[in-house]
């Protein structure tokens, strides 16, 4: 990634990612625990689910949920852990289906062959479906119908799936900034925002703080996908673990494709700065939200 991009943001200071590393390891262990055993029948399906989920990934969504839960006083791992994993199961399902030949037709994900390449298309469709269902099973463990509802809304037709449909329909066309913003806030932003909201709701957050957190989530959610588009153009495959140039090959509607590289970098930087400002309104509680926003702004994978 071109380091120039980071200079667009006033908040480009080096960050200490040890907190994120620690959380990521915690999440990895939990995912392993909640996934079905690779030996249990139908083992091919279970192996496929484990292959995609345990391949790695930044675990941004579970970390956001856990951070929000803890910031607002939540302290019961039995409640937050399955919900955090539900978010990663949904996210991984969306990646498996997104990589299929009928969608983005990609061969590499999280540093290894995509699921349909390593197994086959039928297994990839089923493993995605299975992770989708497992996610709701996990979310239900929280006992909060509000949280289950939040998840369903975020990934349904008015959320992630609506965004993915719009993304497919926008291929090969000229797209306005408004259309791109719709795609990005839905296909990616909705789940990121919901991750923070779900964690905070489980901790019993007040409605005023929840509104602020939602704004924070919207900012980092949109920035996350703008940066994903930028990385597809100028990221290093070795670091990203997925191909670059996929958007160009598929004539995808991207943010830099619509407004140009410079403006895309500037807008992402500004969204991150705004998210950091919102984090500061939470004083000490907001420290980790600011850290995560910086991490999103500086990520190279």
Contact residues toward ligand IPE (CB under 6 A) are 57-58, 60, 91, 94-95, 98, 104, 110, 160, 164, 187-188, 225, 228, 232, 242
Q: Check: CB of residue 298 under 8 Å from CB of residue 12.
A: yes
Number of residues that bind Mg ion (CB under 5 A): 4
Task: Give the C-alpha separation, 227 to 299, whole Å.
Answer: 8
For the CB of residue 104, give the shortest distance to ligand IPE in the complex, in Å: 5
Distance of CA 202 to the CA centre of its chain: 20
Residue 104 touching Mg ion (CB under 5 A): yes
For the CB of residue 103, give the shortest distance to ligand IPE in the complex, in Å: 8
Tell me, residue by residue from 198 to 237, as one string, x for binding to Mg ion by CB under 5 A and - for no binding: ------------------------------x---x-----
Q: Which is nearer to Mg ion, 11 or 232 (CB)?
A: 232
Residue 98 touching Mg ion (CB under 5 A): yes
Helix (H, G, I), strand (E, B) or coil at 54: coil
For the CB of residue 240, give the shortest distance to Mg ion in the complex, in Å: 9
User: Which helix or strand (DSSP H or E) is residue 297 part of?
Assistant: helix 287-298
Closest to 84 (Cα-Cα) out of 121, 139, 32, 43: 139
Q: Which is nearer to ligand IPE, 62 or 74 (CB)?
A: 62
Q: Which is nearer to ligand IPE, 72 or 114 (CB)?
A: 114
Region binding Mg ion by CB under 5 A among candidate stretches 50-58, 94-102, 118-126, 262-270? 94-102
Q: Check: CB of residue 81 under 8 Å from CB of residue 30.
A: yes
255 class by beta-carbon count within 10 Å (0-12 exposed, 13-18 middle, 19+ buried): buried
Residue 88 touching Mg ion (CB under 5 A): no
Q: Which is nearer to ligand IPE, 6 or 31 (CB)?
A: 31
Q: Which is nearer to ligand IPE, 74 or 221 (CB)?
A: 221
Q: Which is nearer to ligand IPE, 100 or 210 (CB)?
A: 100
Residues 6+ apart with CB under 8 A from 235: 1, 244, 300, 301
Task: Give the C-alpha separation, 88 to 83, whole Å.
Answer: 9
Cis status of the peptide bond prior to 42, with omega within 30 of 0: yes
Residue at shortest CB range from ligand IPE: 57
Helix (H, G, I), strand (E, B) or coil at 58: coil
Cα dihedral 132→137→139→140 (10° resolution): 140
Tell me, residue by residue from 124 to 163, as one string, x for binding to Mg ion by CB under 5 A and - for no binding: ----------------------------------------
Query: Which stretches of the chain bind Mg ion, using CB under 5 A?
Result: 98, 104, 228, 232
């Amino acid at each position: 990634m071109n380091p120039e991009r980071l200079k667009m943001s006033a908040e480009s200071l080096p960050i200490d990612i040890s907190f994120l590393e620690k959380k990521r390891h915690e999440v990895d262990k939990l995912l392993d625990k909640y996934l079905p055993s690779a030996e249990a029948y139908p083992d091919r399906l279970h192996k496929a689910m484990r292959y995609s989920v345990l391949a790695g990934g930044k675990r941004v969504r579970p970390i956001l949920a856990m951070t929000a839960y803890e910031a607002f006083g939540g302290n019961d791992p039995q409640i937050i852990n399955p919900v955090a994993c539900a978010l990663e199961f949904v996210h991984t399902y969306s990646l498996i289906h997104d990589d299929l030949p009928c969608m983005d037709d990609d061969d590499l994900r999280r540093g290894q062959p995509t699921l349909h390449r390593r197994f086959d298309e039928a297994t990839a469709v089923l493993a995605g479906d299975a992770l989708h269902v497992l996610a709701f099973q996990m979310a239900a463990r929280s006992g909060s119908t509000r949280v289950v509802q939040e998840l369903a809304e975020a990934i349904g037709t008015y959320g992630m799936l609506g965004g993915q449909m719009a993304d497919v329909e926008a291929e090969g066309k000229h797209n306005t900034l408004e259309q791109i913003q719709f795609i990005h806030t839905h296909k990616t932003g909705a789940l990121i925002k919901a991750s923070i909201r779900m964690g905070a709701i489980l901790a019993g957050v007040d409605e005023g703080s929840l509104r602020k957190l939602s704004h924070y989530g919207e900012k980092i959610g949109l920035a996350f996908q703008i940066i994903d588009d930028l990385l597809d153009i100028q990221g290093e495959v070795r670091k990203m673990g997925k191909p670059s140039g996929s958007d160009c090959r598929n004539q995808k509607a991207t943010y830099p494709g619509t407004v140009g590289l410079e403006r895309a970098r500037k807008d992402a930087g500004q969204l991150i700065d705004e998210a950091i400002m919102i984090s500061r309104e939470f004083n000490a509680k907001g420290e980790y939200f600011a850290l995560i926003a910086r991490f999103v702004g500086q990520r190279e994978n």
